[in-house]
Chain A
Amino acid sequence: MIRSLRPLSLAALLVAAIALMAGCAKQSNEIVIGEYGSLTGTTATFGISSKNGIELYLDNLNAAGGIGGTKVKVIVEDDQSKPEEAATAVNKLVDQDGVIAVLGEVASSRSMAAAPICQQSGVPMISPSSTNPKVTEIGDYIFRVCFIDPFQGQMIAKFAKEKLGLTKAAVFRDIKNDYSVGLASYFTDAYHALGGTIVADAAYSEGDQDFKAQLTVIKSKKPQVLIVPGYYTEVGLIARQAREMGLDVPMVGGDGWVSDKLIEIGQDALNGCYHVNHYWEEDPNPAIQKFVTEYKSRYNAKPDGLAALAYDAAGVLTSALDRLRTEDPAAFKALLGPRNDAQKSARAKLRDRIASTKDYPGVTGRITLDAARNAVKPAVFVGIKNGKYEFVAAVEP
């Protein structure tokens, strides 16, 4: 008797499941966006800072009534600092959660793993801080609100050659990391063009613990400056080991150094080193100070450059949504509806609104997206002195 009931109960379950799924697809009263980031793993502070920045922006927005009364909800997925997990996370956001736009990632390798999924599904993606040029070349649905590596590489070259007056550089790149390899090459080209020489070009792999073999070779070439376009975990360890080996030249790097963990890892070894950042947190500009104060009181931490960019990425997305709402209310409404053709064309209209972002007043500077969907904006150089950051220079593009 019980046995014969089984197929029946299975069928009933199936019906119930279908009914539930249909229930999910009905008109909702909030805009659902997705975010993926490295909340854990070797670059955990990247993901945590970005998540905090986005959360802060959206909570402020929702508290002030959302987008014309419609609240914005964000679903966050952790990619464990791994490109393959980034693709899985975005697949889930797009297919299961049905988000209408995606924010992320910091690391270019991970943005590049996830971007094709967004492009194919027609879901706009804004990377707050992936600087490798190839990220937005993936397609017309992929944007970013930060500067790109050719600019950053050129700036590091100029800084090392002109500001520090050093003509012999060694480059130490992370061979497994698209960002690092790209930035190292842009630096090399620019440094050559300025008349500098690269005396050593060595490589390591993300996750390595020991760098002494490469540093021994680098040291024997007697560079005046060591360029490390990598991420903070390895940079901190490299700085320590370089000093242990007696390689005492200044180290200069890109925005991959941006993390409050950097000094914790590298400690004294980082004194006299410099890196690029996206903004300067002690800038007296009231908008920046408002952001810094709110962030500090909420998370009990200083907002780093990546938190600021994530805050701006959320701002660029919601301002595009707001323009869509006023200019095309029907399309805005379709974004709240089920995943059908109407929503797809509404997402295309949202894409157009993001692409036309002009002079958005972000905490990391005015954001205007160019034809290649990249932001054109100034960068900041900071130095490390006695375990503290200090402002060195701001460079206009």
Chain B
Amino acid sequence: MQELFQQLANGIAWGSIYALIALGYTMVYGILRLINFAHGDVYMVGAFAAYYLALATGAGGAAASLPMALLVLLGSMLVCALVGMLIEFLAYRPVRRSSRLTALITAIGVSLFLENVGLRVFGADPKFFPQLIPPKRITLAGGIMVTNHQITVVVVSILLMVALTLFIQRTKTGKAMRAVAFHRDAASLMGIPVNRIITITFAIGSALAAAAGVLVGLTNPKIEPLMGIMPGIKAFVAAVLGGIGSIPGAVIGGLVMGVSEYLVVGYVSSTYRDAIAFVILILVLLIRPAGLLGRNVAEKV
């Protein structure tokens, strides 16, 4: 029993990272109806931005402290917000009025571009993420062991998700985002600056992916230019599972993905670690295509 709870605890920490990435997918989809396949690679860029920031500021070694770790996290989120805005401006804006297929292919192109630029700039060798916070072991009730890193991951994820929800529900920009998601042309007619809202959406989504990248670097300190492919796909499945376009759905989807991955590796076989994501995807598409919290929208013909 203790073993099961241990797996669940680890799965939740791992799932929080998927949830953060899934939020970016779901936000962009909600507004543009675009699956931004480059999102997983933005997560990679986030991890590398934090890596170089930590090296430059010494946050990984002598000067390691909580404020420095926070600085690295925010710095990397800022870098990725800019990267996200740039991607939107250069790659997606020119094809926004084209068919959705064009945008999808463009997204795949951006993804491959980022991966190969990463290989060129950062090199194919894995890098070892500096230790922003020294690891510590914490025993919870029932003998479950977690690390302060895992707790940080969960806490930071929850904070970011709450902040995002408040932003979308309570601010004027958030309201505008919801309006654009609801009907872009109508929102535009009401005087909402659609372009700016889309840019903001990309910035926020990419910043969340960067946060996920930093958190992964903290718990699993190996980063490489192709690290975004699998988590990107799994977070996409998480977003579909939760109901793409739905923010609480993305969080639930991410947690389900993380936990099911741990259970499959722990009790079935480690070779099915990646397969489980696709089994879930197929089941969702067969049983509840709109996802757990998604709404069925009739296609207008």
Contacts and interface: CB of A to CB of B under 8 A. Distances in A.
Given A40-B123, A233-B126, A212 B270 contact: no
B194 to A, nearest CB: 39
A216 B10 CA distance: 9
Contacts of A245: 6, 145
A202 B271 CA distance: 11
Looking at B126, B137, B216, B269, which has the most chain A CB atoms within 10 Å of its CB?
B126
Contact of B269 (A42, A81, A203, A210): A203
Given A216-B3, A216-B10, A203 B270 contact: yes
Given A216-B3, A220-B3, A246 B261 contact: no
B145 A205 contact: no
Contacts of B222: 209, 233, 237, 265
A283 interface: no
A214 B128 contact: no
Which of B221, B227, B265, B266 gathers the greatest number of chain A CB atoms within 10 Å?
B265
Given A80-B124, A209-B222, A214 B3 contact: no
A80 B126 CA distance: 11
Interface in B246-276: 261-263, 265-267, 269-271, 273
A342 B6 CA distance: 67
A83 to B, nearest CB: 15
Interface residues of A, number: 30
A52 to B, nearest CB: 16
A245 B138 CA distance: 9
Contacts of A40: 123-125
A208 B137 CA distance: 22
B220 A237 contact: yes
Interface in A205-260: 205, 208-210, 212-214, 216-217, 220, 233, 237, 240, 243-246
Interface string A35-48: 00000111010000
B270 A214 contact: yes
A204 B222 CA distance: 16
A264 interface: yes
B27 to A, nearest CB: 25
A72 interface: no
B125 A217 contact: no
Given A213-B265, A244-B135, A245-B145, A203 B271 contact: yes
A217 B2 CA distance: 11
B144 to A, nearest CB: 10
A394 interface: no
B265 A41 contact: no
A245 B6 CA distance: 9
A246 B10 CA distance: 13
B273 A244 contact: no
Interface in B204-236: 216, 219-222, 224, 227
Nearest to B149: A244
Contacts of B269: 203
Nearest to B226: A207
Contacts of B221: 237, 240, 265
Contacts of A42: 125-126, 224
Given A212-B10, A213-B10, A244-B137, A205 B273 contact: yes
A175 interface: yes
A41 B124 contact: yes
Contacts of B267: 217
Nearest to B136: A244
Contacts of A220: 2-3
A247 to B, nearest CB: 9
A203 B270 CA distance: 6
B234 to A, nearest CB: 12
A80 B11 CA distance: 32
Interface string B139-153: 100000101010000
A237 B270 CA distance: 16
Contacts of A261: 128
Interface in B21-73: none
Given A216-B3, A237-B221, A246-B137, A41 B145 contact: no
B14 interface: yes
B10 A175 contact: no
Contact of B147 (A209, A216, A244): A244
A210 B266 contact: no
Contacts of A41: 124-125
Given A203-B271, A246-B139, 12 more contacts: A42-B125, A42-B126, A44-B125, A202-B270, A208-B270, A209-B222, A213-B261, A213-B262, A214-B266, A237-B222, A243-B137, A265-B222
Interface of A: 40-42, 44, 80-81, 175, 202-205, 208-210, 212-214, 216-217, 220, 233, 237, 240, 243-246, 261, 264-265
Interface of B: 2-3, 6-7, 10-11, 14, 123-126, 128, 135, 137, 139, 145, 147, 149, 216, 219-222, 224, 227, 261-263, 265-267, 269-271, 273
